[in-house]
Amino acid sequence: MRRVGIASLGAYVPPKILTNKDLEKMVDTSDEWITTRTGIKERRIADESQASSDLAYEASKIALAEAGIEPSDLDMIIVCGVTFDYPFPATACILQDRLGANKAGAMDIEAGCTGFIYALSVAYSYVACGFYDNVLVVGSDVLSKVTDWQDRSSCILFGDAAGAAVVTPYKGQGELLNFYLRSDGSRTDDLLIPAGGSRNPASHKTVEERLHYMKLNGPEVFRLAVRVIEDAVTAILNKAQLKKEDIAILIPHQANIRIIQTAARNLAIPQEKFFVNVDRYGNTSAASIPLAFYEALKEGRIKKGDYIILVGFGAGLTWGAFLIRW
């Protein structure tokens, strides 16, 4: 097995900002309710013409430039998310063409908001085995397109973004050390888009019943999220035989500040060690972890040699963690 590292990161958010005050004009809510229940102040919204691959393209360009890699150097492109451009073909293929990555394979991975951790584990395995040298992993989601803007309990939560990473043989930075992945398909109904797939194909009826929008059992997902973050962090520490004190920074999926605070308390890890940007972007699904990772790096929160844990949960239910040494 070869040692594997993250050569670079990139991220993109659309310029349009939707604040809690704007939402007050759209549904029966308040800035105070959203801030105290979620920690979110504003989120970014893609314009009508922007699909997942458009956001992915912008984040990828930054990651490739920072890695000093040409698109033609890529062996594989993996896009993860829940709001792909089309049911098929893969958004990764659209990105491959747009980038001009003429020697790369391309595929999508769907693991809800845990997508980036799942996709990173695949890239890691390809490079560790020596099959590939340059793998682009992109988490991209345009949740605003599947949000029911009449449902105040969910529409306040989400935003649009993309984050990317270039995974290569280890060159002295961002070594991928270990990962932990889990799922529980018995929780499907707590978070899903009920129609548009082969279970409930799209029809006039499904559209009239608003079944093409995301449905979320908020309190239940909250409870599960806290439990699985604890599970994943504990498991990855045990696997690596590290102590909580060894970890410099945790980069959690940004869904709700109260989920992060409760998990930090239950794990007895100081909350300051959890990177937070949910206030500015809301929940951006598969983009959330790479976007937070990119910002943590740019803000100087990550130093050479630091142990980092990425930890996420999402629809499926899926959850997992990745241990990295910067």
Residues in contact with ligand ACO by CB under 6 A are 29, 33, 37-38, 112-113, 152-153, 156, 191, 216, 218-219, 221-222, 225, 255-256, 283, 285, 314-315
The answer to whether the beta carbons of residues 317 and 175 sit under 8 Å apart is no
Nearer to ligand ACO, 93 or 257 (CB): 257
Vertex 59, ends 54 and 62: CA angle to 5°?
130
Which of the following is catalytic: 20, 178, 256, 283?
Answer: 283
Catalytic annotation on 283? Answer: yes
- Comparing CB distances to ligand ACO, the nearer of 196 and 218 is 218
Shortest distance (Å) from residue 240 CB to ligand ACO: 25
**What are the φ/ψ torsions at residue 37 (nearest 5 degrees)?**
-85, -20
Cβ nearer to ligand ACO, comparing 72 with 271: 271
Q: How far is the CB of 156 from ligand ACO (least distance, A)?
A: 5
| 8 Å CB contact between 213 and 146 | yes
Least separation, in Å, of the C-beta of 51 and ligand ACO? 19
d(CA 276, CA 40) in angstroms, rounded, equals 10
Token duo for residue 130? 């020596």
Decide if 279 contacts 39 (C-beta within 8 A): yes
We find the least distance from the C-beta atom of residue 261 to ligand ACO, in angstroms, to be 12
Q: How far is the CB of 280 from ligand ACO (least distance, A)?
A: 17
d(CA 269, CA 273) in angstroms, rounded, equals 7
Q: What is the CA radius of gyration of the chain?
A: 19
Q: Is 129 a catalytic residue?
A: no
Minimal CB distance residue for ligand ACO: 218
CB-nearer residue toward ligand ACO: 40 or 136 = 40
Exposure string of 1-17, with b = 16+ CB inside 10 Å and e = fewer, is eeebbbbbbbbbbbeee
Backbone torsions φ then ψ of 50, nearest 5 degrees: -90, 125
| Nearer Cβ to ligand ACO (60/114) | 114
Q: Which residue has the tokens 């309710």?
A: 33
Q: Name the active-site residue from 80, 113, 134, 256.
A: 113
Catalytic entry in 93, 178, 253, 256: 253
Give catalytic status of residue 204 as yes or no. Answer: no
Residue 105: what residue type?
Answer: G
Cα distances from 76 to residues 10, 111, 120, 297, in angstroms, run: 17, 18, 12, 24
Catalytic residues: 113, 253, 283
